Structure formats: C-alpha cells, structure tokens
Structure 1
C-alpha cells in the first residue's frame, strides 16, 4: 500500500469539501483557472486555460494516487479551486494550490490547507514543503497561518518565473 492510499477520499471543514475532481467540475474549473491573476503564480498551469486542459486534469486526477482535491463550497459542492500534495522520490512532499479570484481574501485556502495537512500527518507525510514566489504576499500569509516557515531563499527555475526570487517553506508535525 502506498502512503497516499491512506489519504481520505474527501475532507470536510466548516466551509469546504475537499474531494476528487469530477466531470461536472469542468465548467467552473475552466472559468476560474482561465484567469492570469490565478495562474501567474503557479508553476505549471497553462494560460489560457482551455476546456481541453480541464478535461485532461480531471482524467489524470482519476488515476492519480497523489489525490489532487477540488476545493468545493460545502453547501453547493461547487468548485472554487484545487489543492493537492505532490510526492517526489528525491525531496519532501509539496503542497500546491490555486483558488478562483472571486474567493480570495476569505481564508479558504488556509482552511483547506490546514485540513489537508492534518490528513497528511495522519498518513505519515511530514515534512511538507511549499514553493512560493517571494512577491506573493497572500500565499506566504496562507502558509504561515498553517505553520510553515521559510527554510530557503532561492530563485525559480520554472520557465514562467525563471530567475525570480522564490521562497521554500516547510511544515512538519
């Protein structure tokens, strides 16, 4: 059994449901992700974010043991963003996320991340790291609220941000 198999299929918080992406998420996924302000700080999401990208994400997620979760509004189960843990053979687990712009400033990512980190700790996934552009104050605040601390100042190597200052933060239980 892989350690990611011990992550729950769904996680609920006071306002959110973290669950697997579904086909009916395609419309809200494309609508929210196809926003440069949402995608610019991410390392890999394409812009423009098209329906074909959303379909590919949903298909890959159905086969992915790393469990990317949709952040859905708990009452309506409507997609608001995506959060996940990414496992690598040669470095610690990484947390990644994005949230539709119309949901910014409400503490939703911190709520989702705290719940996912609790599940990660229960599954034995610690430490967890996150990479954030040094100018992304909102994301840095989210991570600090969840108990992450800066462990490295470096520069981004991904094409979109090559050479820009990057912080690597770490959380452990």
Structure 2
C-alpha cells in the first residue's frame, strides 16, 4: 500500500464528536474509513495509508489480514483460510461476507422474487420456501468449488456475488463470476460498483486466476452494459447455449 504519513501520532482508538469510536488498529478487512472518519483522522494528524484494492483510506496501524485463498499451482480448498473479504467504494461503502443462517429473512426478501430470477440459469422455485432458502445459504458455504458472498451496502445485504472455479477444463486459470441484486436495489449503479470492485478482489485474492468470464442472457442488456463498463469484452455466444453470451476479462498485472 502507498502510505501518506501524517506527522502527529495518535492512540489506537479515537472518539469522534458524534460519540463513535475509530479503532485505528482494526483489521484491513474491516474496510476503508467513512468520509467522516477520514476527515476526523486527518484533522487529528493520524497516520493513514491508501488501500488501492479497496479504493480508499485506512489507518496506517491497520492489521493487513488479507490473505490469498488460491495460489498458482496449489489445489487446497479455496475457503480454507478464514478471513473477511470485502470490496469498498468511497461512497457508499460496500462489504462482502458469507451468508449466515441469521440472514434468512433478508435473503428471502431479496431472492423470493420472479423478476430477480428472470436472467438466472436456474428456474424460479415459485415460491422460494424457507427450507429451500436455508439450503441455498448452506450450500453457498459448503463447497470449495466456489466462493459466495453476500453484498452489503451501508451494512445491509442487497444481493450476492459468486466466483466459480474450474469452469474450463482446458484452462484451470479461468474462473466465472456471477451476481444478483434484490429488485429494489436496481437502477442505482450498485451492479456496476460491485462487478468492478469484485473483479479486482477476485484477481487480488486468487493469484492463480488469470481470466474471469461471465455468462449473460442475450436479452439482459443491463448486465451486458455493467460488464462492459468493468472492462469485460464480449466473446460471442456461449457454445453450450446459444441463448447466452460470454464476456471475459484477463488479468493485467
């Protein structure tokens, strides 16, 4: 990380005028500072560091707990390392974390909607029952074949991202991303933010991955536009299903 050091050292914890505490030693995975925290810390002369992965500022005292899950030529389970991955934009703040059983009500409120399933590869289980939703949450955390995360925007789940491994038997360095958002969160630019930031995190955390692909239904113009903005290039029809198109992005660093 490129550091911009301020001259006045400070304690490991500060209290803002609003009463909220800023833990300067909190892990890097807890995310970047909010605009209010950043302004307060700068006024106090706190040493800061710019995090290019999360695109924002953190305390220079923050513990760097980001650990790559997938190393080149390693075949260990991708979920074997316990850490709290997340992606952030300056405003609003986004975080990623695994789904938990406690998320079941909000998970169902987001996913039990036929419109959300319109361009998914699976059919809508009309309706989505609690048992099915709980099984999906359990499945999302039970396999080393993929990484699945709830997308949090300002601490509230709004959708999901997924990274699927071993999608190309001829190129094990290829993985596939997919994503969905609850309908009430459409049209707010969240999809563009998440795909761009999640793509960066996929490459950063999985050094052995050199290519990411995404499959988009031919009628899903919004998702095609999101991927294009994130630097993905149209590859043409999916050879497995002509109703779908393929987009791809290669590692650049």
| Alignment partner, residue 104 of structure 1 | 186
| Alignment partner, residue 195 of structure 2 | 113
Rounded Cα–Cα distance in structure 1 between residues aligned with 2:94 and 2:153: 5
Aligned with residue 58 of structure 1, among 122, 137, 156: 137
Q: Is the 8 A contact 1:39 1:47 kept in 2?
A: no
Cα gap change, 1:20/1:56 in structure 2, threshold over 3 Å: closer, same or farther?
same
Matches within 5 A, 1:1-150: 3=70, 4-5=78-79, 9-14=84-89, 15-44=93-122, 46-48=124-126, 49-65=128-144, 66-74=146-154, 77-88=155-166, 90=169, 92-122=174-204, 123-124=206-207, 125-150=209-234
Rounded Cα–Cα distance in structure 1 between residues aligned with 2:82 and 2:197: 11
1:76-114 CA-partner distances (Å, limit 9, x unpaired): x22211111011252531111110010001111221122
How far is the alpha carbon of 1:30 from its aligned partner? Answer: 1.0
Rounded Cα–Cα distance in structure 2 between residues aligned with 1:53 and 1:133: 24
Q: Which runs of 5+ in 2 are unaligned?
A: 1-67, 71-77
Rounded Cα–Cα distance in structure 2 between residues aligned with 1:67 and 1:113: 15
How far is the alpha carbon of 1:7 from its aligned partner? Answer: 9.6
Q: Is the 8 A contact 2:141 2:148 kept in 1?
A: no
Cα gap change, 1:8/1:2 in structure 2, threshold over 3 Å: closer, same or farther?
closer
How far is the alpha carbon of 1:172 from its aligned partner? Answer: 1.2
Is residue 2:237 matched to residue 1:153? yes
Q: Which runs of 5+ in 1 are unaligned?
A: 158-162
Aligned CA-pair RMSD: 2.3
| Alignment partner, residue 3 of structure 2 | none
Rounded Cα–Cα distance in structure 2 between residues aligned with 1:166 and 1:67: 23
Cα gap change, 1:36/1:107 in structure 2, threshold over 3 Å: closer, same or farther?
same
Q: Is the 8 A contact 2:114 2:124 kept in 1?
A: no
